[in-house]
Amino acid sequence: MTATVVGQSMYENGLLSKATGGLLRPGSWKLTEQLLKLCDLPINALVLDVGCGSGSTVKYLQEAGFVNVVGVDYSKPLLQTGLHLHLDLPLACSRSDILPVASNQVDAILAECSLSAMSNLDEVLVELNRVLRPDGRLALSDIYTRNPDGLPALGALPLNCGLRGTTSRDDLISHMLAHGFEILVWEDHSETLKYFVAQLILAHGSMNEFWSQSEPTADPMDIQIAISKAKLGYFLLVAKKV
């Protein structure tokens, strides 16, 4: 068994990176490209990557030609990893509900598999709306539950990852509408989870082994049962500030 650092989340301790080659989410760059295509942004657009981790998407956007990209994350270890690899990456340490950005300035916000890791969804949506300019785009990819009856079991687990923040499609959309967003696109990409799980199994031997390393305070079987009951899916969503 590979040793893990007690107190570090799976995002920080390398367990996901080992399986995915550095990305901390399903979908690889395919969903990022789809989000960018749907947002149809000019290369001088101000893009904010919320929950940027070590800044891989920020670097990807720069290489794609975008000249005004900033990444924010609350994890200092992840930010330090990114800056160690690329000293000039525009990354900042910040909570997602208190962003260091003036109001009505951002053209688009990316949040790839990060919204579910935030415990204060309403406060975060208020802040994302604040910094977006009118008609600005909010582009998400994340996990969701296709069986809302499974949410209590997930929420009861002693987890240190985004599974506890998973919500249903209807509940998420309801929150977004309440906070001044109009939904433009919703796409189900649940097939990406199958490949993601396969990557984890190849890297760690089994999902039980992955969970025992990444969430040592929870029973791996309880996690698997809760995930199965919730019928987790993965989505892509683009909304605009109204």
Q: CA dist 179 to 51, 105, 123, 176, Å?
A: 20, 18, 9, 5
Question: Using alpha carbons only, what angle is made at residue 74 by residues 97 and 214, rounded to the nearest 5 degrees?
Answer: 120
Domains of the chain from N-terminus onward? 26-194+232-241 (3.40.50.150)
Tens digits of per-residue pLDDT, 94-115?
999 999 999 999 999 999 999 9
pLDDT digits (tens, 9 = 90+) for 187-233: 999 999 999 999 999 999 999 999 998 888 899 999 999 999 999 99
The token pair that represents 178 in the structure block:
């309440």
Residue percentage of the chain with pLDDT more than 90: 78
Report the Cα–Cα distance between both ends of the chain, in Å, rounded. 50
58: which 2 tokens? 């920020």
Q: Are 25 and 92 in contact (CB under 8 A)?
A: no
Q: How far is 68 from 48, CA to CA, in rounded Å? A: 9
pLDDT in tens, 138-195: 999 999 999 999 999 988 888 877 787 899 999 999 999 999 999 999 999 999 999 9
pTM: 0.92
Give the residue among 183, 192, 180 at the shortest CA–CA distance from 38. 183
3-state secondary structure 36-87: HHHHCCCCCCEEEEECCCCCHHHHHHHHCCCCEEEEEECCHHHHHHHHHHCC
Which strand (E) or helix (H) includes residue 106? strand 106-112
